[in-house]
Structure 1
Amino acid sequence: MTAMNETADLVAFSVDRSGPVAEVTLLGPSKGNAMGPDFWRELPIVFRALDADPEVRAIVLTGSGRNFSYGLDLPAMMGAWAPLLGPDSLAGPRTAFLKEVRGLQASVTAVAECRTPVIAAVSGWCIGGGVDLIAAADVRLASAEAKFSVREAKVAIVADIGSLQRLAGVIGEGHLRELALTGKDIDAARAERIGLVNDVYPDQEAVLAAARAMAAEIAENPPLVVQGIKEVLSLNTERQVADGLRYVSTWNAAFLPSKDLGEAVQAFMERRKPEFKGE
């Protein structure tokens, strides 16, 4: 079965083909392509299907509309998570939440493990889970107006889907610590300086064209050699990433439930600045 057959009934993504290049587009349906239940369920389906399709030799990953992704769709996900995250939650609910986190991690890891090279073309906002997603890509390109943020600290969460594990080797630990500890936003120019993106292009149309051109260039190379390059480059990092993901999921299952998290969610819903008390 081809990738196109496998991904025929998607809600959060579209998959298009142009010769040996597949283009995966985030569709939402939430505002800013925020990552809700459909996203997390469909992401591994899409990339495992593309990985299994011998006719696909390169993948472009981008977002619909003005923004790549606002990251985790917190209101959509909290409905299922709220019963697991009470301050008095015991082992059962926390174990269930651990399983939830590891499921999200596995979804993004499907991108990193895809044997076909993935080029992320980022425009507009790329926040939280959006950064986790592009960290799993092989190459990242941005338009001039793109903005990036490892924002989880601002919502009382230790980032747990891959940014803390994958980006140290991309941007260096010093830059990663700054971004993760502050939760600050950076523009495309800063992202290029620290190596988060390879190149910056004038606008969304230009960055998408550049990503397609790079994908076509990769697709001209021997596919087994390209796969071999990915395998060799991943050898030194995949165990470290896997161990880090396992550790942070356990950490968050133990320590994520807090009054600060409740305050972060409440402040988000009320569109105000949260007041954290370390409780």
Structure 2
Amino acid sequence: MPSELLQEDQPLPQGGTIRTWTLNRPEQRNAISQNLLAEMEGALSGLNPEQGIRGLIIQGSGPAFCAGADLKERASMSREDVDSFLNRMGRLFRQIETLSVPTLAAINGFCFGGGLEMALCADFRMASKEAQMGLTEASLGIIPGAGGTQRLPRIVGRAIATEMILSAERITAETALSRGLIREIADDAESLKLSASRWMQKVCENAPLSIVLARQAIEKGMEMSLEDGLKLERELYEKTLETEDRLEALKAFKEKRKPVFKGR
């Protein structure tokens, strides 16, 4: 049985690699099966900066990113199995969201339900111009169950998220861009791969520890008052002052060259 999750590493000029996950169920529009979920759970352990991983790109094979959960498989599952599946998927998405490396979802086609919920966990989202996306659960008699009702409003705002979820609307890449859901539109799937790679290379040129701490400041600060968020920012800033990477940046500036960061 072929793997339902393909993994590939792209070396970076400054050292380290960007890992790409490709959801590999093209005939099922990369719907999330129990096997695919298990493979993603297992692959998480390899996404460690100490092992040289600097970033993660998630994409789909064929004409889809991810159509959500595998509804054919779910039809044969018991209530207990469905609950277990949703709990596991929710944990997986939260782990992706809190990884110690930056993440990007390259949405190359259909992206519905749990597929969009997974993309919402990434730091960045890009799409091909033919992409369609939406939280369409209301049309199936359910609601988003893997974080969609919580993450979408935080990204696009309450009013737009309410419209999308209650209408089960399927939006185009152009609409997603206008709503701030994605940052860029590529002409086709191959152009999307190139754009995703270029963007992640740009992000990964920066100090790994700075990326980790900045993400913490943003995520945790969003749940605090402004005053508490500013205190948190200062605390995390202080952690950067004695790092080797900060000293390397100062040295590189003086020597008029690009810094070579080590994540220390």
Same fold, TM exceeding 0.5? yes
Corresponding residue for 1:114? 99
Corresponding residue for 1:11? 3
TM superposition shift of 1:230 = 1.5
Task: Tell whether 2:138 aligns with 1:153.
Answer: yes
Rounded Cα–Cα distance in structure 2 between residues aligned with 1:108 and 1:134: 9
CA gap 1:14/1:53 in 2 versus in 1, 3 angstroms = farther
Corresponding residue for 1:51? 48
Corresponding residue for 1:28? 25
Corresponding residue for 2:149? 164
Residues 216-253 of structure 1 deviation map (CA, whole Å, 9 limit, x = unaligned): 112211111111112212213579xxxxxxxxxxxxxx
Corresponding residue for 1:132? 117
Higher relative contact order (CA 8 A, sep 6+): 1
CA gap 1:188/1:29 in 2 versus in 1, 3 angstroms = closer
Larger radius of gyration: 2
Rounded Cα–Cα distance in structure 1 between residues aligned with 2:136 and 2:223: 24
CA contact (8 A) 1:35 1:73 kept: yes
| Residue number among 60, 75, 89 corresponding to 2:72 in the alignment | 75
CA contact (8 A) 2:155 2:181 kept: yes
2:159 is paired with a residue whose SS is helix
CA contact (8 A) 1:12 1:28 kept: yes
Normalising by structure 1, we get a TM-score of: 0.74
CA contact (8 A) 1:120 1:141 kept: yes
- Between the two proteins, the alignment pairs up a number of residues equal to 219
**RMSD between superposed Cα atoms in Å:** 2.0
CA gap 1:10/1:116 in 2 versus in 1, 3 angstroms = farther
Runs of 4+ in 1 over 6 A off after TM superposition: none
Corresponding residue for 2:213? 228
TM superposition shift of 1:30 = 5.1
> Which amino acid in structure 2 is aligned with residue 224 of structure 1?
L
CA contact (8 A) 1:12 1:29 kept: no
Rounded Cα–Cα distance in structure 2 between residues aligned with 1:69 and 1:176: 20
Rounded Cα–Cα distance in structure 2 between residues aligned with 1:238 and 1:182: 28
Rounded Cα–Cα distance in structure 1 between residues aligned with 2:60 and 2:183: 18
Deviates more, 1:207-216 or 1:44-53: 44-53
Q: Percent identity?
A: 24
TM superposition shift of 1:10 = 7.9
> Which amino acid in structure 1 is aligned with residue 93 of structure 2?
V
Which structure 1 residue ranges, 5 or more long, are not aligned?
A: 1-8, 85-92, 240-279
Which structure 2 residue ranges, 5 or more long, are not aligned?
A: 12-16, 225-264
Task: Tell whether 2:167 aligns with 1:182.
Answer: yes
